[in-house]
Structure 1
Amino acid sequence: MSTENEGTAVPPAPSAPPVPVETPAASAQNAAPEGGAPTAQIPSVPPGAPGAPGQAPAYASTGTGTPDPYGHGAGTPGAQGYGSGAPGGVPASEAGWPPPPPATPSYADGGGSGAGGWGSTYGQPAPKPKNGRGGLVAAILVAALVAGGVGGGIGYSLAKGNDSSTGSTTVSAPSNSGDVKRASGTVAGVAARALPSTVTIEAESTNGEGGTGTGFVFDKQGHILTNNHVVADAVDGGKLTATFPDGKKYDAEVVGHAQGYDVAVIKLKNAPSDLQPLALGNSDKVAVGDSTIAIGAPFGLSNTVTTGIISAKNRPVASSDGSASSKASYMSALQTDASINPGNSGGPLLDAQGSVIGINSAIQSTSGGGLGGSSQSGSIGLGFAIPINQAKHVAQQLIKTGKPVYPVIGASVSLEEGTSGAKITEQGASGSAAVTSGGPADKAGLRPGDVITKLDDQVIDSGPTLIGEIWTHQPGDTVKLTYTRDGKTRTTEVTLGQRDGDS
């Protein structure tokens, strides 16, 4: 299993459908989780993706009817979903955790393009090697031997005159035995410093299923930061190991995991005393065009280094592993064209100085199968990382209490497309109020039917986008919401509430 959520940008995603934004007056049945509400294939949210409309809480509510504990609504006919089909709405205060967005067609299926990043699947963890791995290694060894045979004997013979029977003179190319020094600011320099603090994680469930992902040293106490979907198989009594580039392997245990954020912290057992945590950068200061370096174990190939740039910021991404029991993760991601594949999940995305600016979590894929499908494609230059500023706060909370904390606005919003904003539904789950009485949204004067179009200066084009942006904040933060009501644009300030845990 690869721990890479193959995620998709707001376009349609095979396994992870995009969150529809525009919704006609939402019904109780379509109500979605409240706006406060790993790597998977992420397609852009195409205009008018097929599938039954659903609604998501602005991290708040789940579907009506008889939603499951996570607020997944009835399945969307003919659509491949993140887990369940179209989600419904759940009151912010009771929202367990946002249901997956409606299914989105993959690029191969004609999925539309778009600026969004939502509806993607986790970049699956790299499957555990079986007999096939030997063939790959053998092929690599053969190639190396061939290269050595050709390049090792750089020499030639000069025949003296026309006499082929006499001796010959061999001229050998000069060799430089001196060490090559690389500046600390080069990719090679950054990789040399960062690799020793990066680990390949193998997670195995009690029934033997599992996969490979990546993580990196967070502190000297032995905490490793990674994706939730990387360690999910080992959460309930499974086996977890972390292997450093020098081959040293350690057993580990899950300290805490956050499904919504797709962040997890594990701790090494008998951790060595010489651990070197990677320096954390400031993801808020990252600019489009900045250089990026990704480290991970794509398809199980540990300690792989790839490079690229920041292609976009604040890319709304919803990802999942495509399984029936899967719950979606939402993020306002950093987009990069550095090659990221299943197995890269949980690995660090570094800046040119070697500081961590994000956790690689999802990828867009042209494959129609998604994580739950029969095939899995590689990188197409669309990778998504959780900003480190957000991941750092989540990690600190997990280390402190073992459970995540989510900021919420206390209102259910629609997950449908085409609304040009996040629309507060008419009802929450099971007929409950869409706006929690006495909650943040209620105190700010928001009511059903309002369409939120901006959070501070960030444009909001859908319910999932709102959820991802709210989650970049902390409970207690005050944000400015711009919304429309009866054709008029209004603004209000909302002090974010709090929800503990994923359920």
Structure 2
Amino acid sequence: MDASHFRHRARRSPLPLVAGLCALALASGCSGPDSGPAAPESSTSAARADSASRAVAQLESDYQRVINDVLPSVVQIQTADGLGSGIVYDTDGTIVTNAHVVGEETSFKVSVATGEKVLDASLVSSYPEQDLAVIRLGDAPEGLRAAKFGDSEKVEVGQIVLAMGSPLGLSSSVTQGIVSALGRTVSEPSSGGGTGATLANMVQTSAAINPGNSGGALVNLNSEVIGIPTLAATDPALGNSAAPGIGFAIPVSTVKTIADQIIDHGEVTSSGRAALDVTGRTVVDDDYQPAGVALVSVERDGAAYDGGMRVGDIVTGIGDTEVTTITSLAEALAAEQPGDKVRVTYTRGGGTRTAEVTLGEI
């Protein structure tokens, strides 16, 4: 599977609830010669079965507790084009979701997971560069429950997680999995074709992420939101159909950073995303293979300009990372921070050059 191929898992909606329970296998100890008589095999088997049953019951209880804690804070968002999910951010009726869920619209119908009344909401601001948006209910109902948000620094591979949202329009659905990996950088498809936003530090999960899950909640067993499910991988070998068990969520640290700025200022004032301050296009070599990014414009006094780069230069590398396309350039920059100094490799007039560039901010 080509990791550069991904698709949104929202706006329409995923599959019904799938919850898996893992029975824990308990290892039995060995008795030495002085340990006394061995327990009858039937008694040992019964004890194991009883322990396994208690473990399953405890895990099931943990799942139910988390669902009861968090699901009231997960909403369904209806737009003119489809459905998505959102998370109640505060008791004032602020809801955070994906930018691709709200699209170009400014008004929405919102259904709270535990209620039947449809509420009106309006857009506060959308930030497609990080695929996040904030909307607000016109009249927040009494008893509206805000979600509890966790700490990205405490998220670890192997943690059990639940994904909550409205897959395929099935509101209040829950799927289960683990954190499969951290720090993934993925590029979203654009609604008009090509590449959309490049998202860094994504949480990879095996919990099913389907259309409609986007904007919902990925939560740990402490009932804390650790991410917003946003997209799932697709497999070109299978006609770009979903690759099961490979989904991605925007980490909670990014969610809080962007949402807080929108709430406080009505817009994002500091993205935290590194930039070369250029626009470019992918160029190909004599074999029609992607070979770099030609600079179409270079912002005066921007990062690339101050590093000596000009229109017509072709970027081929950032640090030790090869750059062949616009997408690979965006992914290389996503791994850096504004203010970082990086080595940019580029060509001009057929010759290869390098520049030490202090990165700007998107």
Structure 1 position 122 matched with structure 2 position 8:
yes
Gaps of 5+ in 1: 1-112, 129-135, 137-180, 205-209, 371-376, 499-503
Shift of the 410–186 alpha-carbon distance from structure 1 to 2, 3 Å rule, reads: same
Q: 2:169 aligns with which of 300, 304, 311?
A: 300
The answer to whether the Cα contact below 8 Å between 2:185 and 2:334 also exists between their aligned partners in 1 is no
1:272 corresponds, among 131, 137, 141, to 141
Partner of 1:21: none
Q: Which residue does the alignment assign to 2:245? A: 381
The reply to whether residue 453 of structure 1 matches residue 318 of structure 2 is yes
1:211 is displaced (CA, Å) by 1.4
The whole-number CA distance in structure 1 between the counterparts of 2:230 and 2:173 is 16
Report what 1:14 is aligned to: none
Partner in structure 2 of residue 192 of structure 1: 68
Corresponding residue number in structure 2 for 1:213? 84
How far apart in 1 are the matches of 2:268 and 2:188?
Answer: 18
TM normalised by structure 1 equals 0.53
Secondary structure of 1:229's counterpart equals: helix
What is the rounded CA distance, in whole Å, between the counterparts of 1:351 and 1:490 in structure 2? 45
Amino acid at match of 1:230: V
Aligned to 1:398: 262
- Alignment-derived partner of residue 54 in structure 2: none
- Give the superposition deviation at 1:193: 0.9
* CA spacing shift, 1:360–1:218, aligned 2, 3 Å: same
Q: CA deviation at 1:339?
A: 0.7
Aligned-pair distance for 1:252? Answer: 1.0
Q: Deviations over 1:151-182 (max 9, x none)?
A: xxxxxxxxxxxxxxxxxxxxxxxxxxxxxx96
Q: Alignment partner for residue 409 of structure 1, among 257, 263, 276?
A: 276
Deviation by residue 1:3-45 (Cα, 9 ceiling, x = unmatched): xxxxxxxxxxxxxxxxxxxxxxxxxxxxxxxxxxxxxxxxxxx
Match of residue 103 from structure 1: none
Question: Cα deviations across residues 37-72 of structure 1 (Å, max 9, x unaligned)?
Answer: xxxxxxxxxxxxxxxxxxxxxxxxxxxxxxxxxxxx
Separation in 1 of the partners of 2:253 and 2:344? 27
Question: 1:243-276 CA distances to partner (integer Å, 9 max, x unpaired)?
Answer: 3223343211111112222211111121024333
Number of equivalenced pairs: 310
SS of residue paired to 2:250: strand
CA distance in 1, matches of 2:307, 2:342: 9
Q: Distance in 1 between matches of 2:89 and 2:224?
A: 12
Contact 1:203–1:241 (CA under 8 A) maintained in structure 2: no
SS in structure 2 of the partner of residue 364 of structure 1: strand
Classify 1:422/1:308 alpha carbon distance in 2 versus 1 (closer, same or farther; 3 Å).
farther
Q: Secondary structure at the match of 2:86?
A: strand
Letter in 1 for 2:196: A
CA distance 1:276–1:472, change in 2 (3 Å): farther
Q: Partners of 1:233 and 1:497 in 2: how far apart?
A: 25
Structure 1 residue matching 2:234: 3-state secondary structure: coil
Q: What is the distance in 2 between the residues matched to 1:490 and 1:286? A: 38
Structure 1 residue 219: Cα displacement: 1.5
Distance across 2 between alignment mates of 1:247 and 1:490: 61
Contact 1:122-1:319 within 8 A present in 2 as well: yes
| SS class of match (1:365) | strand
Distance between the aligned counterparts of 1:355 and 1:184, measured in 2? Answer: 17
SS in structure 2 at match of 1:380: strand
CA distance in 1 between counterparts of 2:88 and 2:265 reads 19
1:404 is displaced (CA, Å) by 3.9
The equivalent residue for 1:479 is 340
SS in 1 for 2:175: strand
Deviation, 1:302, is: 1.2
Q: List alignment gaps of at least 5 residues for structure 2.
A: 17-56
- Relative distance call for 1:239 and 1:484 in structure 2 (3 A) is closer
Q: 1:393 to 1:462 in 2, by over 3 A?
A: farther
> What residue in structure 1 maps to residue 131 of structure 2?
262
Structure-1 separation of matches of 2:163 and 2:344:
38
Equivalent residue number for residue 197 of structure 2: 329
TM-score (norm 2): 0.71
Contact 2:292–2:324 under 8 Å retained in 1:
no
Provide, for residues 439-492 of structure 1, a one-character-per-residue CA deviation record: whole Å limited to 9, x for no partner: 12222455634433349xx99786425435646877xx3123244468999784
Q: After superposition, where does 1:149-164 map in structure 2 within 5 Å?
A: none
Structure with greater strand share of residues? 2
Q: Deviations over 1:106-135 (max 9, x none)?
A: xxxxxxx24x3x34232242269xxxxxxx
Distance 1:416 1:380 in 2: 33
In the TM superposition, residue 221 of structure 1 has moved relative to its aligned partner by: 1.6
SS at the partner of 2:65? helix
Higher relative contact order (CA 8 A, sep 6+): 1
- Looking at structure 2, the residues matched to 483 and 363 of structure 1 have their Cα atoms a distance apart, in angstroms, of 31
